[in-house]
Each structure stands twice: as C-alpha cells, then as structure tokens.
Structure 1
Amino acid sequence: MSETHTVQATQQAELQRKLWAIANDLRGNMDASEFRNYILGLIFYRFLSDGVSAYVKELLVNDDITFAEAYADDEMRDDLVDDITEAMGFFVAPEFLFETLVADAQAGRFDVEKLQTAVNAVQSSTIGEESEEDFRGLFDDLDLNSTRLGNTVAERSALMQKVLLNLADLDMGHDEVQIDVLGDAYEYLIGQFAANAGKKAGEFYTPQQVSKLLAQIVTKGHDTLQNVYDPTMGSGSLLLRIGDYATVGNYYGQELNRTTYNLGRMNLLMHGVSYNQFSVQQGDTLENDYFEGQQFDAVVANPPYSAKWNTDGKLDDERFRKYGKTAPKSKADFAFVEHMLAHLNVTGTMAVVLPHGVLFRGAAEGTIRRYMIEQDNVLDAVIGLPANLFFGTSIPTTVLVFKKNRSNQDVFFIDASADFEKGKNQNNLTDTQLARIVDTYDKREDVEKYAHLASRDEIIENDFNLNIPRYVDTFEEEEPIDLAATQKEIEETDAEIAKLTAEFEAMVAELVETGEE
C-alpha cells in the first residue's frame, strides 16, 4: 500500500469514528433519522465552503489580498463572484464561510439564523446558473428553525454551535485525498444512520459489498462508461460505486423520496462529481420517467421490494407494452425491470437486486419472465445472495443481470446464499466471498454446489421457473446410518441404565435401614 493510501485509510477511519461519535453525543433525544439531516447538511456545507476557500486561495495567490478584502472591493467583487460561480456552480461570501461561522462561535457570537441565511445564500447563488437545478431545494431538510433543535433561537443556536465546533475540530485531510476521505466518511455516516433506522433503511442505502458486486458486473470489460443510470437511486451509493471501477462521464438518477433525493445529490458532490456531470430528478420513476427515450451504458438499481404501483394504462406505455401483461398492482418488481431494460443500450449491462419471488411467481410475472427469456433473450445471470444482508429486511435477495447483445441463450446461476460472515445485526459479504462471486460470474463455468450454466432447454423443462435450487443442487447427503451398530449402542445404554438403577435402589434401601436404627 502506498504512503498516500495509508494516510488516507488512517484519516478515513479516524474521521468516521469521530463523526459518528458527534452524531450520537449531540442528537440528545432527537430521533437519529431527524438528526441525520442536520449533521450531514452541515458536513456538506463545510465541504462547499472549503471548496470555495481553496479555489479563492489559488485565484488570489499572486494578489497579496484576502478573500474578504477582494470581496469588499467594489471593482473586484462582481468578477470574483462570477469567476467562482462559473467554476464551482455556486458562491459562498466571506461572511458565510464555514471558517467565519466557526470564528463567530469561538467568540461567543454565533447565531443560528445567520447559519440559515448562509445556507439559503448558497442556493440563491445558483439561480439563473447552469447548476440551478442541481442545487434547487438541496438544503430543504436542514430546517434550522425547527423546535426539534430547541424552543428558542438561543437554544437552537447553542445546539448547532456545538455541532459546528465539533465539525471544525475534524481534520479533513490533505488536498490530494480530501474529497475521497470526506466523501467516504459522509457515506459511512449514511450507512450508520441506515443501520439505526429500522425498516425504512432500505429506502436510501444499499450495503457497500452489494454495491461493489453490481458495479463490478456492469463495468466488466469497460474502462470507460459514458453514462450510468439508477432509477431508484436512494443516496447514490450504487451509482458512485460504478465510478470506482470505470471512468464515468455522466451520472443519471431518479428518486421518489425528497429527503433521500437531497441526500443523493449531496453524496455525488461530496465524492467530487461536478454539478455538470450529473442529472438527478425527484419523482416516481414508474409514473413519471424523467429520462424518457434516453439509453445508458450501465443501469443499476435496488428498487423497493414488491412495492404497490398503479397499473392503469401502463400497457399503452412503451416501456411495458410488449410484455402483454403488467406486473401485479401489489408487486412492482418486474415493472422496475421493464423500465430499466427500456433505458439500457444495446451494448450495456444492467444489474438489479430483487426478492426471490420474481424467480418463480406465476400469472403475469410468469408471462413477463418467459418473454424476457424466450423472446428478448436478455437475462444473462441469476445470483442468489445470503439472507439478512440489507438494513430493514432479513429476506434473501437475488441479483438479476441483463444484456441486450447476447448471442448465447443460456442463463448462468450462482448460489452464494451460504457465503456470508455473520454480523451483530446484519450478515456481511467478505471481500473473499465477493471476489468468488465475481470470478465465478466471469468464468461462467459450473462449480459443484455453487454455480451452473443452464441451457434454454433446461429452463423450458422447468417451465421458466428460475428458482435457484432447480439449477444449483446444494443438497448434502447425510452419512448412512449403521442400524446394527445403533441397535448395539442402544442395548449397551439400556444395560448401563439398568445397572445404575439397581445401584441407586440399593443405596436407597441402605439409607432406609440406617434410618430405622
């Protein structure tokens, strides 16, 4: 490991530990999911502020003048604002810099209302700019006037001052590793909040190992992907993971939940994805497709499992028409798959996490599944994952892999359901177990009790039922029982019991006789 990576790993671990300690210490009686919006929002604000400070420092390096002095100069101000806004997509005035707010707090003059003004000013600075859409409503969940923070301005100021000063004490790292360290720490916090959010956690976070699995599958054979898409993007972890394995040109995503939508945009920016490199929309993917007609090099998703959806008029929709049936009203799983396939380009790869029911349920789902295999020939692999990997649900899940340019008609099955490391609350995939899945998928060869390449004929014989045990036999035969030896053992045990019983009765009789004397 290089020195830079060692430094980064150390910084990362320390920053993560401190951030979670801050979150736990300061939230008091506030629910973790509520406090999440405040601490993540302020971390993000510091990230934006530090970015402006660093840019201005470089911009004015030869002018022997501070940011505040340059901003106070009437002749310099407009050009300075335009320069920073064009480069970064937003602007933070010197009086609103994170370091200025910290100085206020240290001097005992911090005011939560000034912080609210500072936050609002960031969004206002993007109005009319190319970045406006990407920043619109980004801080809506950072409500600093909420009585959850305190009943008075003084109480709210006192709490947020503590958060501010704690965040100010954190070493965000050297310039060359700062974005990676801070971005990963931010995502770590998202994961920690998910672990404490109960049933709702699955709405915004996909465990890192599962994200890695999907990312490695869709980037296989590609060093560069022009555009990638997640129709139920949550906090954006799946999209960002793709960037770890290939150079991504642009990120596209849609998310229904407003808070999670904001979280996802922040997460992208915190990982160094520029505002002009992503397009993220809020809305119901199945009802309002913001990217209608667009196709992408890679598509990934961990959609809500067996969600309810409105099927009215959907067979008139280009995404769903050809299958002849709509996914059931109470189970939108295949609707998400159909939507994703409509957005996958002919040379791309798609990977989606779904409940096992999609593999074998009949009726409309059986019809859709058959069409995808028999008519479109797009299903490439079925990968069974262990149970209890995801926050908020203990059910086992499966990864379905789709490709449109297949010349073969087989489907590759992997049963990784028994490969996991048991954790306190959730099971985990180790790096070794993850590597085994990816390596097996790459080789596409049978592995006893683990993987099988099923022909089209096998799938037809099973009436297009894709239940993994039909293709990967993991049954372990029990050793034959030696009945004669077992009978002898029983007889010996009975004899031993009889002997001990006789000895016990003799002891009791002797005690009775002694008592009579």
Structure 2
Amino acid sequence: MTQSKQQLEQQLWNIANTLRGKMGADEFRDYILGFIFYKYLSRKMELHANKILKPDNLTFHELEGHPQEKEYLEAVKDDALEHLGYFLKPSELFSELARRGNGNGKSKFILGDLAKVLTNIEQSTMGSESEEDFGNLFEDLDLTSSKLGKTEEAKNELIVKVLTHLDQVDFDLENTESDVLGDAYEYLIGKFASGAGKKAGEFYTPQQVSKILAKLVTIEKEQIKNVYDPTCGSGSLLLRVSKEANVGAFFGQESNPTTYNLCRMNMIMHDVHYKRFDIHNEDTLENPSPQHLEEKFEAIVANPPFSANWSASPLFMSDDRFSPYGKLAPKTKADFAFVQHMVHQLSNTGTIACVLPHGVLFRGAAEGHIRKYLIKDKNYLDAVIGLPSNIFYGTSIPTCILVLKKNREHSKDILFIDSSEHYEKIKTQNYLREEDVEKIIDTYKNRTTIDKYSFVASLDEVKENDYNLNIPRYVDTFEEEEPVDLDAVSAELKGLKNDIKTTDAEIADFCNQLGIEQPF
C-alpha cells in the first residue's frame, strides 16, 4: 500500500535526525538531501533501464556479467543521457551500495565507493547537453568531514546507517501521477529552514508566501510559457508556480553555490526535465546570465535578500537594466536594483510579484526617484500588499509584495492591501493561514476597497502623496477606542477604597490576636 505524504515526510525527517550530531541544520541538510537525491536518481535510472530492456526480457541488474554487457550498457547509457540526463551502472545504484554497506548486518567500508559513484554521476554527463545541470551537484557531500565521525570507521558506520534506513523507504516513483516525494523534499527543506535561523532567508520562502506570489502571477492563466526567479534559492518559489499553472520552462539565478546545487536537485526531484530548467550560479545584479538576459519572462517571482549590499558601480549607468531610470539603487540597499532587473526581464504580457522590505515604499533619494519613475513615467505598479511582521525565517521585519505589469488592465489606479494583522501566531513565529492567503488573492482579483483592509487609490492620489506608497496613507486601519464611562470608573474606585478599608481592618485584627505590630 502506498504511504501517505505525511508518513513519508516523517520517515525522512526521522532519518535526517540520525545525522544531526554536532552539525548545524544547514550542514546535515546538505547530507540528507544529497543522499535522498542519490536514491531518487538511482531508482529513476533502474526504472528507465528496465523499461528499455523489457523487450529483451532483461532487467538492469542482469546486465553485469551478461555476454553482451558492454553493448547493452552503452545503449542504455545513450538513452538515459537523452531522457534522464545522467547514467549509473547497476553496481552504482543506491540499493546496491546500501546492501554492500550492510552486508550480513555488519557495516562494511563503502565510503570510497560512495564518493566514486557520486563523482561518476557527474562525469557521466560530460560532453552531453545536461552537463551544466549535473556538474558539481554533490560537491557539498564531504564524506571526509570530521563532523561525520572522528575515525573513518565511525564516518562509514553513520553513512551506512543512513543509507540502510533510506533504502527501506518506498519513494513510489512508479506512480507517475503523484509528486509525494517532491512534496516531501520541499517539506524537509522547510524544516531545515525553520532551524537555520538567519541563513534560512538565503534559500527558502515560507510556503504560504510562495503560494501568494504564485497565485498573483498566474491569475486567469492555466498555461505559463516560462517563469523566472533572479534570486531563486532552493527553487521552491519557482516550483510553487507550477502548482498553479502548467509551466513551459523554469529559469533562475542563485549566487550561493550550495543553494544553487540544492535548487537543481529540487528541480530534478520534482521530475522537471533537465531541458526545461536553466539555473545559473552567479550574482544576478553583478553578473546576470547572458542566456537569461536574452529572454523575456511571462511570470517573475522573487524574494530577494532584504536591503543587500551591491557595488552600484557607475558602469551600470550604461546597463540597459538601469540606464532608463537615471539613478542606481544605493550601495547598501539593492532592493530597487532587483526590481529594475526584473522589470527589464519582464515580457509585455507578464507579471512580477516580489517580496521586499517596507522601506521601498517610502525611502527617498535615489529610491524615491526610481519609485516615481516606475509609477509616473512607466505606470507599471499594479498593487502593494502589506504582510505581517515575523513571517520570514531569520528576520522579524514587516514586508510587502509589489505587483508590477507593463500593460496594466487597471491603468488609472493602484491597489493597496493591508494584511499585516491577518495571521496566526504559533510560538515565536507568525503564519499566514489559508483564509489570509485567499483574502489577499480575492481582494486583488476583485480590486475592491474594503474598510480597514484595502483601498483602490487613483494615480492622482499617489501623486498627491509625492509617490510615497506607505500603506497607512491609503488604508485607514485606525480603530476608535471605546468611550470611557467616567462615572463607572469613579464608582469602581470608591468600591476599591471600601474594600481596602475592610481588608486593612481584618489584617489589624489578625495582628492584634497574634500580638505583633501592624504593618501600617
């Protein structure tokens, strides 16, 4: 019987915790997600090879030692590189290493073999179309790290233990209608993010925020030609869009090499063919992918690092992304630089939905100039949505979502939504509930003014505010306090005074009976 998503998630999380030891959340994340990915690749390889070999009444495991082993393996490899993007020999499969490591119930040394297999997976793609998508994928799985154990034997024993546990988990890849494993992988990434503190913001956007952004860029669309995230982290935001519409191709850029690897793994784990995604490992502002710059994207979603530093080099004034504005975002606040980059990449029929700190709404100087240009000169800003504080891992600051389009249906106004007080508090973290998400999306779709929640402001009103977008200027959330009944307060105070007299008398009586001095 196929296990539920919750069962698989719990199984994988329990196995992950066997690796915890003295490692930080981000460190044992790299190991467990890497091993899950290796098992996934192995199982996909085995299923694909068995399908190819079925007409010959052979299975993949039966090839080694077969009289025509070399010919069969070459044929399977060619086909696998085309359809899967990589190749594994039968002896390199996850199940085979797990079996060898746990021979007769005793740990046998497999660290060397495992390291070689992971290298072979990457090398199998050399010279093929998928080379860039698989290159250095396993570089963060350092099997020599002392964090795995003080001795080689201790490291081996821990790895064998993890592989053995994982080998017993059914990934159910035969069920092509289900994405249970992909969802479980996302669940693990989210769990690691919740324990990674400030570092979490580098690779993960909370699921409900991702859902809002994905819904905003797919409203009334069942098919999206392409989606782009210039700061894609683990890729969860890109993949979330595919839950709202059919996506033709995924594009992303990520500066952190470890997170870049995680993103590519995440794409493949969600069964996105290597030809359908293009993830680039460089700083988006300083070194944007040349291939991406040639593209225009129908949907752009992003959660850039808040108020990050960038060079703001004067050379960028001749860059097509920034030159039309006449100003660059400040060196210590790259928020609008990311917005400018995304606007440049947006197609004429596309939508941007990005998360930014509240400062972009009202800060002056260069940022005020860029903001005014986007609204007055280009009329690209479609909506401003205020989110609650403390909903992102690693920061408690309040944030907002900007929605931008080059061809706006409602070109004479801007919608403001204040959802800052609509959330559920769990321990120290605030969470958006399903009803909070739906209210934001419904309000955006209907473009309605709702008392103390949303307001449709004309462009003239925004101009009168000197293009300051601070949400309280447009959405009045002031709650008038209940009038105070002074007579009732006076009567209550008189009653308290009488109660105090009675209590004092009782205390004095007790003191007299006990023969002790009264306290007053």
TM-score (norm 1): 0.94
Gaps of at least 5 residues in structure 1 are: 1-6
Matches of 1:374 and 1:333, distance apart in 2: 19
Partner of 2:98: 102
Partner of 2:329: 327
Partner of 2:134: 135
Partner of 2:443: 440
Matches of 1:80 and 1:174, distance apart in 2: 19
CA deviation after TM superposition for structure 1 residue 61, in Å: 1.6
Superimposed CA distance per residue, residues 19-71 of structure 1 (whole angstroms, 9 cap, x where no aligned partner): 11111123212222111111110100111110011111111123222324335
Matches of 2:193 and 2:516, distance apart in 1: 72
Matching residue's letter, 1:330: T
Matches of 1:489 and 1:207, distance apart in 2: 49
Gaps of at least 5 residues in structure 2 are: none
Is the 1:381–1:401 contact (alpha carbons within 8 Å) kept by the matching residues of 2? yes
Is the 1:179–1:271 contact (alpha carbons within 8 Å) kept by the matching residues of 2? no
**Residues 337-348 of structure 1: pairs in structure 2 closer than 5 A:** 337-348=339-350
2:353 aligned residue (351, 365, 374): 351
- Higher mean alpha-carbon deviation, 480-489 vs 282-291, is at 480-489
Is the 2:231–2:304 contact (alpha carbons within 8 Å) kept by the matching residues of 1? yes
Is the 2:253–2:282 contact (alpha carbons within 8 Å) kept by the matching residues of 1? yes
- Report whether the alignment pairs 1:69 with 2:62: yes
**Residues 85-484 of structure 1: pairs in structure 2 closer than 5 A:** 85-107=81-103, 108=106, 109-173=108-172, 175-176=174-175, 180-290=179-289, 291-312=292-313, 313-407=315-409, 408-484=411-487
Matches of 1:208 and 1:496, distance apart in 2: 55
Matching residue's letter, 2:267: L
- Higher mean alpha-carbon deviation, 380-389 vs 177-186, is at 177-186
Is the 2:171–2:181 contact (alpha carbons within 8 Å) kept by the matching residues of 1? yes
Is the 1:387–1:396 contact (alpha carbons within 8 Å) kept by the matching residues of 2? yes
Matches of 1:29 and 1:125, distance apart in 2: 34
CA deviation after TM superposition for structure 1 residue 83, in Å: 1.6
Matching residue's letter, 2:114: L
Residue 475 of structure 2 aligns to a residue whose secondary structure is coil
Partner of 1:33: 26
Matches of 2:85 and 2:99, distance apart in 1: 26
Superimposed CA distance per residue, residues 360-418 of structure 1 (whole angstroms, 9 cap, x where no aligned partner): 11111111111111111001011111111111111111111001102512110111111
Matching residue's letter, 2:260: Y
Is the 2:18–2:162 contact (alpha carbons within 8 Å) kept by the matching residues of 1? no
Matching residue's letter, 1:83: D
Is the 1:11–1:173 contact (alpha carbons within 8 Å) kept by the matching residues of 2? no
Is the 2:52–2:76 contact (alpha carbons within 8 Å) kept by the matching residues of 1? no
Residue 384 of structure 2 aligns to a residue whose secondary structure is strand
Superimposed CA distance per residue, residues 333-354 of structure 1 (whole angstroms, 9 cap, x where no aligned partner): 0000000010000100000001
Is the 2:352–2:405 contact (alpha carbons within 8 Å) kept by the matching residues of 1? yes
Is the 1:218–1:349 contact (alpha carbons within 8 Å) kept by the matching residues of 2? yes
Matching residue's letter, 2:414: V
Matches of 1:12 and 1:506, distance apart in 2: 69
CA deviation after TM superposition for structure 1 residue 218, in Å: 0.2
Matches of 1:300 and 1:322, distance apart in 2: 22
- The runs of at least 4 consecutive aligned structure 1 residues that moved more than 6 Å come to none
Residue 454 of structure 1 aligns to a residue whose secondary structure is strand
Is the 1:37–1:142 contact (alpha carbons within 8 Å) kept by the matching residues of 2? yes
Matches of 2:339 and 2:16, distance apart in 1: 37
TM-score (norm 2): 0.94
Cα RMSD for the two superposed structures:
2.0
Is the 2:122–2:136 contact (alpha carbons within 8 Å) kept by the matching residues of 1? yes
Matches of 1:28 and 1:123, distance apart in 2: 29
Partner of 2:6: 13
Matches of 1:84 and 1:349, distance apart in 2: 37
Matching residue's letter, 1:33: D
CA deviation after TM superposition for structure 1 residue 434, in Å: 0.9
Matching residue's letter, 2:370: I
CA deviation after TM superposition for structure 1 residue 178, in Å: 7.7
Matches of 2:178 and 2:100, distance apart in 1: 26
Superimposed CA distance per residue, residues 135-170 of structure 1 (whole angstroms, 9 cap, x where no aligned partner): 111111112222322344322221110110011111
Is the 1:172–1:178 contact (alpha carbons within 8 Å) kept by the matching residues of 2? no
CA deviation after TM superposition for structure 1 residue 110, in Å: 4.4
Matching residue's letter, 2:40: F
Matches of 2:265 and 2:516, distance apart in 1: 88
Matches of 1:510 and 1:251, distance apart in 2: 86
Is the 1:206–1:390 contact (alpha carbons within 8 Å) kept by the matching residues of 2? yes
Q: How many aligned residue pairs are there?
A: 508
Rate the CA distance shift 1:505–1:78 in 2: closer, same or farther, 3 A. closer
Partner of 1:4: none
